[in-house]
Structure 1
Amino acid sequence: MADPAPAHLDPSALGTKEYWDTLYTRELTNHAANPQDEGTVWFDDADAQAKMVAYLDEHCSNPDHEPLHHEPLDPSRAAVLDLGCGNGSLLFALRDEGWEGRLLGVDYSARSVELAGRVGGGRKGEREVEFKVWDVLNGPLSEVAVAVAVEGESETETAAGWDVVLDKGTFDAVSLSGERDGQGRRICEGYGERVLQLLRPGGIFLVTSCNWTEAELRDWFETKTRPTEAGARLRLAGRIEYPSFHFGGVKGQTISTLCFEKASN
């Protein structure tokens, strides 16, 4: 059995809000001077963004593939939440691929959200992608709630979880924070629990990391993430392949992307 006490990364400036505010202030200035400069696309050297979009297209919405849950996602309706949205590039890429449902990007840096909004403002002829200042670890869940019509009661709406929650480097940044929560844990230890609260039953969490291996991500989200009171937990549902390397007889890769499903058992 895995050790319940997780190993941690040493705290770094990349785990502070000040670092990201400074970075996105600079990227806002660059974008104002040259609108073609839309800022950093994280893990672009590994083509992670395109691979994540392709994975959702091929494995989650294509009925020719075995679905991850009881039915494939419908790109015309699926609600997608991007945690730590940066300049919004991942959601814009999904919109370009025909994901027409609600797309919301959140970030605790107001400067990030401002940049994403400005980049999105230059994109015409499509349904708007939403961006909001919200802290994944501390923000009220009601502020990012998904409302859906109850079948047979078109005038009534009820809260529901997100179909897809995305993370491209945000858990990495959270893992580099030295902050602790009210229980004395490093704040990254509560990240998976928040993801579970955001997902609907059967919803999926697609996470990309350069700081954690596949085995470590599985440990974080399958083993060390506490199940909900109803018994829902995160369960591995798939992975994305990247070019691998061999060193000292061990096979590895520079980044990892895993897909987890919110499962009841």
Structure 2
Amino acid sequence: MSTSHPAHLEPSKLGTKDYWDALYTTELQNHASNPEDTGTTWFSDSLAEEKLVALLPTLPTLPPPEQASFLDLGCGNGTLLSALRADGWAGRLMGVDYSERSVELARNVAAQDGSGAEFEVWDVLAGDYAAVLTGEQEGGWDVVTDKGTFDAICLSEEKDARGRRICEGYRDRVGRLVKRGGMLIITSCNWTEDELRTWFVGEGEGAEGEVEGEGVGFVEAGRIQYRTFSFGGHRGQTISTLCFRRT
């Protein structure tokens, strides 16, 4: 089945590695000066991390907390994994980011809070799968999370080998990281829920739709309700979080 994607966002400096390296260099310096300053936690004003942790027990087919594995894409300062550990998720936790400075900050924060999470420098669009599909997770992770990383990728003007904007290949690339029956949880401030469904499930199919692309298919499995607002007769949320199960 073919599907059309939502209109592209205009490229921005937020879609460049230089921007994120500079940001995390500053945040590393701030953390060194004040260990209580762990840097920016994306969507903290909407309590996105807390709501994501609360969503997990409602999702079908997840392994128990002592077994479930989590891979966080574009981990930033790593606080999502710290929140998971604090909530009793005792399985393997790994965060990856293509910014070396981000990974350094996340490791420092994890050493301070004792989460035991692993952090590695890895490019979600170009990195060798063998670097993250290891050990018991060779066949994929139980839960893969993305809090703003897809947003940043959609702001890049880079093209892939097929001449597409790099965001066009994201779903199939990330699908390989999720074990069959596992969950992909996307949080975005740039795309509405319906637009995320179009990207990851398919246009006009609702919660039961499925798109097959290079062996990857997703169906919607859950969502987070945030505060809503009304403008011009329309009602919406400032951010969206949807959970997709890999078929």
Q: Same fold (TM over 0.5)?
A: yes
Corresponding residue for 2:138? 159
Task: Assess if the C-alpha contact under 8 Å between 1:196 and 1:262 holds in 2.
Answer: yes
Corresponding residue for 1:99? 89
Corresponding residue for 1:261? 245
- Residues in 1 aligned to 2:42 and 2:26: alpha-carbon distance in whole angstroms: 16
Task: Assess if the C-alpha contact under 8 Å between 1:193 and 1:226 holds in 2.
Answer: no
> Is 1:243 equivalent to 2:212 in the alignment?
no
> Is 1:122 equivalent to 2:112 in the alignment?
yes
* Per-residue deviation, 1:79: 1.2
After superposition, the C-alpha distances for 1:47-92 in whole angstroms (9 at most, x for unaligned) are 0110011111x313xxxxxx2xxx3321111111000000000000
The residue identity in structure 1 corresponding to 2:118 is: E
Q: Secondary structure at the match of 1:177?
A: coil
The residue identity in structure 2 corresponding to 1:59 is: T
Corresponding residue for 1:45? 45
> Is 1:233 equivalent to 2:217 in the alignment?
yes
- Residues in 2 aligned to 1:139 and 1:258: alpha-carbon distance in whole angstroms: 25
Larger of the two Rg values belongs to structure = 1
Structural mapping, 1:70-85, within 5 Å:
71-85=61-75
After superposition, the C-alpha distances for 1:220-243 in whole angstroms (9 at most, x for unaligned) are 11128962544x401111110001
Q: Tell me the TM-score normalized by structure 1.
A: 0.87
* Per-residue deviation, 1:5: 5.2
Task: Assess if the C-alpha contact under 8 Å between 2:4 and 2:198 holds in 1.
Answer: no
* Per-residue deviation, 1:194: 1.2
Task: Assess if the C-alpha contact under 8 Å between 1:2 and 1:219 holds in 2.
Answer: no
The residue identity in structure 2 corresponding to 1:84 is: G
Task: Assess if the C-alpha contact under 8 Å between 2:62 and 2:182 holds in 1.
Answer: no
- Residues in 2 aligned to 1:246 and 1:89: alpha-carbon distance in whole angstroms: 31
Task: Assess if the C-alpha contact under 8 Å between 2:46 and 2:226 holds in 1.
Answer: yes
Corresponding residue for 1:4? 4
Corresponding residue for 2:79? 89
Corresponding residue for 1:147? 135
> Is 1:110 equivalent to 2:109 in the alignment?
no
The residue identity in structure 1 corresponding to 2:58 is: H
> Is 1:34 equivalent to 2:34 in the alignment?
yes
Gaps of 5+ in 2: 204-209
> Is 1:59 equivalent to 2:58 in the alignment?
yes
Q: Tell me the TM-score normalized by structure 2.
A: 0.93
- Residues in 2 aligned to 1:226 and 1:133: alpha-carbon distance in whole angstroms: 30
Sequence identity percentage: 57
Q: Secondary structure at the match of 2:201?
A: helix
- Residues in 1 aligned to 2:96 and 2:219: alpha-carbon distance in whole angstroms: 24
- Residues in 1 aligned to 2:97 and 2:105: alpha-carbon distance in whole angstroms: 11
Count the aligned residue pairs.
241
- Residues in 2 aligned to 1:72 and 1:30: alpha-carbon distance in whole angstroms: 37
Corresponding residue for 2:25? 25
The residue identity in structure 1 corresponding to 2:202 is: T
- Residues in 2 aligned to 1:253 and 1:9: alpha-carbon distance in whole angstroms: 18
Task: Assess if the C-alpha contact under 8 Å between 2:74 and 2:95 holds in 1.
Answer: yes
Q: Greater relative contact order: 1 or 2 (C-alpha under 8 angstroms, separation 6 or more)?
A: 2
Task: Assess if the C-alpha contact under 8 Å between 1:210 and 1:256 holds in 2.
Answer: yes
After superposition, the C-alpha distances for 1:16-74 in whole angstroms (9 at most, x for unaligned) are 00000000000000001101101011000000110011111x313xxxxxx2xxx3321
- Residues in 1 aligned to 2:86 and 2:51: alpha-carbon distance in whole angstroms: 14
| CA RMSD, 1 decimal | 1.8
The residue identity in structure 2 corresponding to 1:190 is: G
The residue identity in structure 1 corresponding to 2:228 is: S
